[in-house]
Amino acid sequence: MFRLFVTNTHSMLNNKPLADRLRPTTLDEVVGQQHILGKNRILRNIIESGNIPNMIFYGLSGTGKTTVANIAAKSSNKALYRLNATNASVSDIKNIVRESDGLFGQNGILLYLDEIQNFNKKQQQSLLEYTENGKITLIASTTENPYFYIYNAILSRSTVFEFKPLTPDDISVALERGLEKIQTDDFPDTKIICEDGVMRHLAEKAGGDVRKALNSLELAVMYTPPDSEGNLKITMELAEQCTQKKSFKFDKKGDSQYDVMSALQKSIRGSDPDAAVHYLARLVEADDIQSICRRLMVIACEDIGLAYPQAITIVKACVDSALMLGFPEARIPLAEAAVLLATAPKSNSAYMAINNAIRDIETIDTGSIPRQLQNKHYDGEGNAEKGQNYLYPHDYPNHYVVQQYLPDNIKDKKYYEYANNKNEQAAKEYWDKIKKNAK
């Protein structure tokens, strides 16, 4: 089965990339992201109100972050400036602020700062003054987790929106528009025949990145040789050549980056080194070294923990080696870390302990810190209770003395439970013996 489109000749007349020519100018034209841009969803409501706050757009490349920022700037009637943190500096921001005092910035300025994770802490701090005094409304985008890479003061003053990878169905809509655009604008008289399945193949191979899909489509049209009748027939073989390296973010079942990360951690947690190496390989093929390194270190603490406390040290050494080497060699220490973690004994006791403690702090009145633990060096004349009464454990046998450490309200709480592994059971046996004989 073939699908028929019409263009004029084999050479493309428009040098502007197809993805830029198709960039949406309204929210209704944006494909995907319905969880934040659908009817009555929060980001749509914000943009349609025209009252744009500071925002952070978080997601993979080609998911619509820049497009939505452009639409937001248009609705706000503010002057739009764009900077990329990869090559921008604080002086560039200062220059923009100076312009805001002129006629061009009379309605305020919206700064779209792409790849904000490439700004260091000091550079990010320089934005605070201008966002707080209203000189700049900031929309920052990042492909990295903002809670790892963006300064807390900026996060607390911004609303974070996650842009999810586009599905093949979303991308197929954009590809249809793209082919119609080529037909209408460039060559309206030459037939383009797409072999059945070509468009779906391009959509599935794009890894959730609509720009990548449109680039592949444009490449296929531009470099398909005309047949004897002057038509362009895009075959599946040619489409496969235009998408030789498949992104891991989506396969035919729609796996996303976050799914692969989850599968890696769950495979290691489940002590399956073969599955762990498989999912690591997907991430390696996508050149996603930063995400791999962060996740392996989290796993070492969350899932292996005190059952093998040396794991974090070894994984840190592997991670440092990988970052120093870069790909392709980085795959070797990363694989070493993944296999080590998958075959190590497991314990989540420390992870559960901190989670339980945080839950209590957030939900109940835990009370004041016991007096003996406070930083008390002087008691006022009106204080009936004199002296801190702290017992220094090193002055007692086995460096231990019975003493209350938790606040009165939760003095009997147990957050940490020794897990059933060699290391923690050895520690439990030691402390059971010490505490049994302590006064």
What CATH number does the domain containing 329 carry? 1.20.272.10
Total domain count for the chain?
4
Within a domain: residue 21?
no
381 and 419 housed in the same domain: yes
49 and 134 housed in the same domain: yes
- At 317 the three-state DSSP class reads helix
User: Which is nearest to 62 in space by CA: 292, 257, 327, 285?
Assistant: 257
Query: Can you give the pLDDT at residue 16?
Result: 81
The encoded tokens of residue 240 equal 């496969």
321 and 385 housed in the same domain: no
Within a domain: residue 28?
no
Return the H-helix or E-strand segment holding 57.
strand 55-59
53 and 85 housed in the same domain: yes
Q: Is residue 338 exposed (0-12), middle (13-18) or buried (19+ Cβ within 10 Å)?
A: buried
CA distances from 371 to 273, 387, 389 (A): 50, 9, 8
Within a domain: residue 19?
no
71 and 131 housed in the same domain: yes
193 and 307 housed in the same domain: no
153 and 121 housed in the same domain: yes
215 and 315 housed in the same domain: no
Its domain, for residue 409, covers 349-437
403 and 301 housed in the same domain: no
Q: Please give the single-letter amino acid code of residue 38.
A: G
Query: Can you give the pLDDT at residue 353?
Result: 94
187 and 159 housed in the same domain: no
Alpha helices (runs of H) in 133-235, residue ranges in sequence order: 146-149, 152-156, 168-185, 198-204, 210-222
Look up tokens 């339980």; give the residue. 356
pTM above the 0.75 mark? Answer: no
Within a domain: residue 317?
yes
Within a domain: residue 250?
no
Query: Can you give the pLDDT at residue 255?
Result: 46
Query: Can you give the pLDDT at residue 7?
Result: 46
Query: Can you give the pLDDT at residue 251?
Result: 41
Stretches in the chain below the pLDDT threshold 70: 1-14, 100-106, 187, 244-257, 376-388, 439
103 and 74 housed in the same domain: yes
